Structure 1
Amino acid sequence: MSVSYTLQAVTRRSGLGLSVNGFKRAAHRRGYSTATPLPDTLPLVGIRVLDMTRVLAGPYCTQILADLGAEVIKVEHPVRGDDTRAWGPPYAKYKKGTKEGPGESAYYLAVNRNKKSIGLSFAHKSGVEILHKLAKECDVLVENYLPGNLKKYNMGYETLSAINPKLIYASITGYGQTGPYSNRAGYDVMVEAEMGLMHITGSRDGPPVKVGVAVTDLTTGLYTSNAIMAALLARARTGKGQHIDACLSDCQVATLANLASSALISGEKDSGRWGTAHPSIVPYRSYKTLDGDVLFGGGNDRLFGVLSDRLGHPEWKTDPRFVTNNVRVKHRVELDSMIEEITKQKTTQEWLEIFEGSGMPYAAVNDIQGTLNHSHVQARGMVQEIDHPDCGPIKLVNTPIKYSHAKPSIRTPPPTLGQHTDEILREFLEFDDERIAQLKQEGVVS
């Protein structure tokens, strides 16, 4: 399939309303500043996203879209940029002779690849006018301001949908557009606490703890990207855009999954925190080794038999205390203690070698460096080195999903603040150099 035919097909399906020639011009304007061309096999090629998000949930959502080929224009405060630009150390340090400052923060670099950055203030009337023009040219807008905040700047859904009826407008908030908590700000950790996750995370007799990564932000970003793609399919059928109301609290409740279902069905209080253990399966947890920890998952009686044999205690398979999972759960403390007395006698690597090929689910408990340098992680291409214009070679975590035809990848490094301001204003909105210079002088753009 030729590129022009692909773009024609995208035009018909998405209802963008561009002629084929117009789309060719748009495709030319949308070219990234990179030696690697945008593959036309990527699922979202031809889709343009106006990204008005910062921190994690929103940028993670738009990065997923960017990985899949969408052109993402990241709108940032012209001076501060995304909040996470200041969230360091660590920083990828600037090369000599490029920029002043500590560098690009690792946090920011984690969720902003394959995007373009425009530094723009919508506190200025001229800034709002620019955003209105960009919204008219975009298929999707994603924002994560408190409900109603953007309305004050004439950037609410009602205003922009009147300008572009085909616009898909996704709002990501802590607690949603409605409900008694809707006007509350909500970082991930607050929602983890309020919506049940912190209560079930931590050691059995320890205090509630947050998950080690902002998992509620990430699941919200995932849910929202999925909703946007579904809305694009709906628009192809109806020709209409719509407003998506996504929030951390709803997504956290949804991802309580089987635990929420158990509470709803039984009507009883949950069983609390279990650390690495499982409330209904024994053995199923991590055990200390000579130099670390190893995890075993004895999910059925056959696997418990494998574990017993490899630990050198085949007699456990016929021991009345352990013969079925039901009785093993009753003798949990006793059995776990017996297993750990044995695992402490060898290193983690020795146990991995003993269980290799056994069919038993087992794993080392690795730290982050151990994970990133893991042979399987490396073999799956999950770490990619890319050349950053101001920092030189940097390593980033790659996009995780593999396709048989499309090849999502890190095409461009996360942009520096305002890196593409001139390009966007000149090529998308046809502003001349004099007007761009005036906007910079007025502090509207950077």
Structure 2
Amino acid sequence: MRPLEDVRIIAIEQYGAGPFGSVHLADLGADVLKIEEPSSGGDVGRYVPPYNSGEDSLFFETFNRNKRSLSLDLGTPEGRKVFEDLVATSDAVYSNLRGDVPAKMRITYDDLKHLNPAIVCCSLTGFGMTGPRSRQPGYDYILQGLAGWMDLTGDPDGPPTKSGLSLVDFCGGYVAALSLMAGLHAARRDGVGGDCDVSLYDTAISMLTYPAAWHLNAGFRPVRTKNSAHPSLVPFQAFEAVDGWFVVGCAKEKFWVRLVEAIGLADLLDDPRFVDFTARGEHKDDLLPLLENRFAENSVDHWVSLLTAAGVPTGPINDVEQALTEEHTVARGLIATTDHEVWGEVRQVTSPVRFGDDPVRYRRAPHRNENFDEVMTMLGYSADEIRGLVDAGAFGKIVQETA
């Protein structure tokens, strides 16, 4: 069995952050059942360009492999009945909505505990379910700005800059998945579930980590650094070679010694300006030009090979294509392949969350409402009951037209 094969999660999720969190659980074997609102066409991620066709997109495939889909109108009494029957037979309700919406939709623990006392209700919202911003929608770019990330990122003379990836969304998804798993453990131990009030804002603020501690305790004010330099360790930054860029990280004194010996600047070891981290930080304007001039004499491959052999932490600054074809990427099995009617063979990156040695089985993302029959059978509904629910609009028009 896969680690989470005995876990069923009802996922009222869409777009990026929520589906990103639950896809790791699905890869671990959890039965993640996506509830898709029928009148709006389901998860908006299905329609994200540029690689989209009808209700299928490569964006959607990325976040929804190994899941199932059910179209369900929670705004109808009959749709609510189906949802509550699912709650009674599931382990968790997982959502990513605006902070005030879970209560309005009645999907919090207090709303559902009478159906299943052990249910875990994990709500990933923009700003959380309490606080002055709880009713505001939260998007990655906005949160990168609010949490100080953009002020920290970019060239010292340039504008505030966002990360090249939606890291608040993705980290928020990880936090939600971790919170849900903690809740499931407690529920199985105690027989009582509860709420996981997780937010993208909380995630972004918490990731300020040591710069926040430095500021809160010593008044430290972070500034942007040239060439992505570490705020306190020198040298630890990007350097330019003849044909590109690479990173050198001297996080320990022994790496500094290995570095200067490997590149032929061992005389710097006797220079009192560079004797330790503190001295190198104080005299970085003297040191860095010496290193930059030396690294400008040869190629990235030359320096990375030389420094790797010397035991100095280093690596090239790859583009996306180079990163995906790195020897280590292939060796670690980080590319998965699924078959799809529209896209043919779909290749995508895998989840880094792992347990045990059994290989992960990958299944393409579900078509909208693809698993209707399976879910109806799972719930034990008779043909007459299903017809009544369909006629009452519990599943939206998509089912009424095809049933």
Q: Same fold (TM over 0.5)?
A: yes
For the residue of structure 1 that corresponds to 2:375, the secondary structure is helix
Q: Decide whether the 8 Å contact of 2:42 with 2:71 is kept in 1.
A: yes
Partner of 1:43: 3
Deviations 1:302-334 (A, max 9, x none): 322222122222222222332322222122123
For the residue of structure 1 that corresponds to 2:65, the secondary structure is coil
Q: Decide whether the 8 Å contact of 2:97 with 2:126 is kept in 1.
A: no
Partner of 1:276: 228
Alpha-carbon distance between aligned partners in 2 of 1:252 and 1:298, rounded to the nearest angstrom: 27
Partner of 1:72: 32
Partner of 1:33: none
2:48 is aligned with what amino acid? W
Alpha-carbon distance between aligned partners in 1 of 2:106 and 2:257, rounded to the nearest angstrom: 66
Q: Decide whether the 8 Å contact of 1:220 with 1:248 is kept in 2.
A: yes
Task: Say whether 1:260 aligns with 2:220.
Answer: no
Task: Say whether 1:352 aligns with 2:291.
Answer: no
Q: Decide whether the 8 Å contact of 1:55 with 1:82 is kept in 2.
A: yes
How many residues in Structure 1 have an aligned counterpart in Structure 2? 395
Deviations 1:395-434 (A, max 9, x none): 11112134335x3624311112222123222333425264
Task: Say whether 1:443 aligns with 2:403.
Answer: no
Q: Equivalences for 1:46-445 in 2 at 5 Å?
A: 46-78=6-38, 79-91=40-52, 101=53, 104-266=56-218, 268-274=219-225, 276-405=228-357, 407=358, 409-432=360-383, 434-435=387-388, 438=391, 443=396, 445=398
1:218 offset after TM fit, Å? 1.6
For the residue of structure 1 that corresponds to 2:264, the secondary structure is coil
Q: Decide whether the 8 Å contact of 1:121 with 1:445 is kept in 2.
A: no
Tell me which moved more, 393-402 or 365-374: 393-402
Partner of 1:10: none
Alpha-carbon distance between aligned partners in 2 of 1:61 and 1:178, rounded to the nearest angstrom: 22
1:282 is aligned with what amino acid? V
Q: Decide whether the 8 Å contact of 1:128 with 1:155 is kept in 2.
A: no
Deviations 1:136-175 (A, max 9, x none): 2211001122234344444443222222222111111111
Percent identity (aligned): 29
Q: Decide whether the 8 Å contact of 1:290 with 1:344 is kept in 2.
A: yes
Q: Decide whether the 8 Å contact of 1:148 with 1:156 is kept in 2.
A: no
TM-score, length-scaled by structure 2: 0.91
Tell me which moved more, 148-157 or 271-280: 148-157
Q: 1:152 and 1:403, CA in 2 relative to 1: closer, same or farther beyond 3 A?
A: closer
RMSD over aligned CA atoms reads 2.2
Alpha-carbon distance between aligned partners in 2 of 1:244 and 1:423, rounded to the nearest angstrom: 29
List gaps (5 residues or longer) in structure 1. Answer: 1-39, 92-100
Q: Decide whether the 8 Å contact of 2:32 with 2:67 is kept in 1.
A: yes
Alpha-carbon distance between aligned partners in 1 of 2:73 and 2:160, rounded to the nearest angstrom: 40
Alpha-carbon distance between aligned partners in 2 of 1:437 and 1:57, rounded to the nearest angstrom: 31
Partner of 1:28: none
Q: Decide whether the 8 Å contact of 1:174 with 1:248 is kept in 2.
A: yes
Q: Decide whether the 8 Å contact of 1:103 with 1:391 is kept in 2.
A: no
Q: Decide whether the 8 Å contact of 1:48 with 1:72 is kept in 2.
A: yes
Q: 1:443 and 1:64, CA in 2 relative to 1: closer, same or farther beyond 3 A?
A: same
Alpha-carbon distance between aligned partners in 2 of 1:44 and 1:83, rounded to the nearest angstrom: 27
1:48 offset after TM fit, Å? 0.5
Q: 1:75 and 1:408, CA in 2 relative to 1: closer, same or farther beyond 3 A?
A: farther
Tell me which moved more, 150-159 or 214-223: 150-159
TM-score, length-scaled by structure 1: 0.83
1:322 is aligned with what amino acid? F
Q: 1:441 and 1:307, CA in 2 relative to 1: closer, same or farther beyond 3 A?
A: closer
For the residue of structure 1 that corresponds to 2:88, the secondary structure is helix
